[in-house]
């Protein structure tokens, strides 16, 4: 970790990214981005500590460095809180959220006691002293592991939730955050190496890992879109669907009688088969609900219970059927695969290929070849 150039670049870049996230250029996900900025700031402070440590300033200012070290206890909680705000549209900071900062408060109190006593806290037993110092040494990596684990769970839940309300999820599924968490896993492994194994060969790669992780985060975080780009009234209606406090199945059944379900199913089929609502690239649950003339909550229930699918799968199934029709017709001669994807309602070739293969168990190209063979066999 003795590469001052890379550490300096990472430190300066992190402070700049933190500033940009506080005032995000796209004005999207404002509160979540400010918590993410807080996390990036703590990361910048950690890099600054390493940079100044290489200049031996920790010898001249030991007390100041002790308090700078405390900032590391803020990194994992602030990252997790940013993910909470990214994935929960109704999230508000509450008093109980302060418990996330208990380790930071404990460390600050510990350092205040040391400053007041004029020396580090010591125990009568050398074994107790050694155990205390060992715990202090590994508590940050352990804290990071715990928060990374629940962050991965939260992002996985978000990816399921977003499919309940959106038909195009690539820009809002926060996969960039999941990839960044994977980079953080590598950082945590480096910390464990420092704490337990001391494999010196890995030290030289650590600055590259820090710099690459920061630049990757900067690239994706500054290009992000609003995750829940719905009007406040629509968000309030969607909260029981995407929130943690989902409505009970029996309660939803009371809202839709059997005759009403059949009536709404006919309307929905008309909107999908004849009006072809699925051709709208950014079709969402509230928009389709408006076309059918029901609430988003009722439409979600209808799709889940009658078709056994979430909204994303329901819409993309219709898009795949439309793509199959286009690929089997003469229109295919005038369109490439990307053109077929857009004509069928998909907004990316990757999503088109994935959905097509999942439903037909063959790629669009294989489907075309099979169709041609069947047509030639008929004509023979």
Domain ranges of the chain: 4-221, 247-308, 317-380
> Given this model, what pLDDT does residue 208 score?
86
> Given this model, what pLDDT does residue 368 score?
87
Tell me how far the alpha carbon of residue 51 is from its chain's centroid: 30
Question: In angstroms, rounded to a whole number, what is the distance separating the alpha carbons of residues 228 and 210?
Answer: 30
End-to-end CA distance of the chain: 71
> Given this model, what pLDDT does residue 1 score?
54
Q: For residue 118, is it left (φ>0), alpha (ψ between -120 and 50) or beta?
A: left
Q: Note if the pTM is more than 0.75.
A: yes
CB 144 within 8 A of CB 194: no
Q: Which of the listed CATH numbers 1.10.10.60, 3.40.1110.10, 3.90.190.20, 1.20.120.530 matches domain 317-380?
A: 1.10.10.60
Strand partners, 284: 166
**Six-digit token string for 87:** 């994935």
CB 326 within 8 A of CB 276: no
Provide the residue-wise pLDDT of the chain in tens; the chain has 380 residues: 567 888 889 999 999 999 999 998 888 899 999 999 999 999 999 888 888 877 777 677 777 777 778 898 999 999 999 999 999 988 899 999 999 999 999 888 877 877 777 666 666 677 776 777 677 777 888 888 899 999 999 999 999 999 999 998 888 899 999 988 988 888 777 777 766 677 776 777 788 888 888 998 999 999 888 898 888 888 888 888 886 444 444 444 446 678 888 899 999 999 999 999 999 999 999 999 999 999 998 999 999 989 999 999 999 999 999 999 998 887 667 778 899 999 999 988 999 999 999 999 999 999 988 888 877 777 66
Question: In angstroms, rounded to a whole number, what is the distance separating the alpha carbons of residues 298 and 7?
Answer: 54
317-380 matches 4-221 in CATH topology:
no
CATH 1.20.1070 fits 4-221, yes or no: yes
Question: In angstroms, rounded to a whole number, what is the distance separating the alpha carbons of residues 292 and 301?
Answer: 13
Residue 78 CB-density burial (10 A; 0-12 exposed, 13-18 middle, 19+ buried): buried
């Amino acid at each position: 970790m003795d590469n001052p150039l890379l550490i300096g670049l990472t430190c300066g870049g992190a402070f700049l990214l933190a500033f940009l996230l506080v005032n995000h250029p796209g004005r999207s996900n404002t509160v979540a981005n400010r918590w993410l900025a807080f996390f990036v700031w703590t990361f910048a402070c950690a890099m600054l500590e390493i940079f100044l440590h290489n200049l031996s300033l920790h010898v001249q200012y030991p007390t100041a460095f002790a308090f700078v070290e405390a900032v590391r206890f803020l990194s994992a909680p602030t990252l997790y809180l940013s993910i909470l705000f990214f994935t929960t549209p109704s999230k508000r900071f509450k008093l109980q959220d302060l418990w996330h900062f208990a380790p930071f408060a404990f460390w600050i109190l510990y350092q205040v006691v040391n400053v007041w006593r004029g020396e580090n806290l010591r125990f009568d037993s050398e074994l107790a002293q050694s155990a205390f110092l060992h715990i202090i040494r590994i508590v940050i990596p352990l804290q990071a592991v715990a928060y990374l684990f629940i962050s991965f769970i939260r992002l996985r839940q978000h990816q399921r939730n977003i499919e309940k309300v959106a038909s195009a999820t690539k820009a809002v599924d926060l996969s960039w955050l999941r990839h960044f968490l994977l980079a953080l896993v590598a950082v945590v492994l480096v910390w464990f190496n420092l704490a337990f194994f001391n494999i010196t060969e890995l030290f030289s790669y650590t600055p590259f890992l820090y710099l690459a992780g920061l630049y990757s985060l900067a690239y994706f975080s500054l290009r992000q879109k609003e995750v829940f780009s719905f009007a406040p009234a629509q968000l309030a209606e969607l909260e029981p669907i995407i929130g943690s406090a989902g409505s009970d199945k029996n309660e939803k059944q009371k809202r839709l009688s059997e005759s009403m379900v059949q009536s709404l199913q006919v309307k929905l089929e008309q909107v999908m088969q004849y009006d072809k609502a699925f051709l709208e690239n950014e079709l969402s649950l509230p928009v389709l609900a408006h076309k059918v003339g029901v609430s988003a909550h009722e439409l979600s229930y209808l799709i889940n219970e009658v078709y056994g699918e979430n909204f994303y799968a329901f819409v993309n199934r219709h898009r795949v059927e439309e793509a199959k029709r286009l690929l089997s017709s003469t229109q295919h001669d005038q369109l490439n695969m990307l053109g077929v994807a857009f004509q069928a309602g998909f907004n990316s070739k990757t999503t088109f290929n994935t959905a097509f293969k999942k439903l037909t168990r063959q790629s669009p190209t294989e489907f075309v070849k099979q169709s041609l063979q069947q047509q030639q066999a008929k004509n023979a």
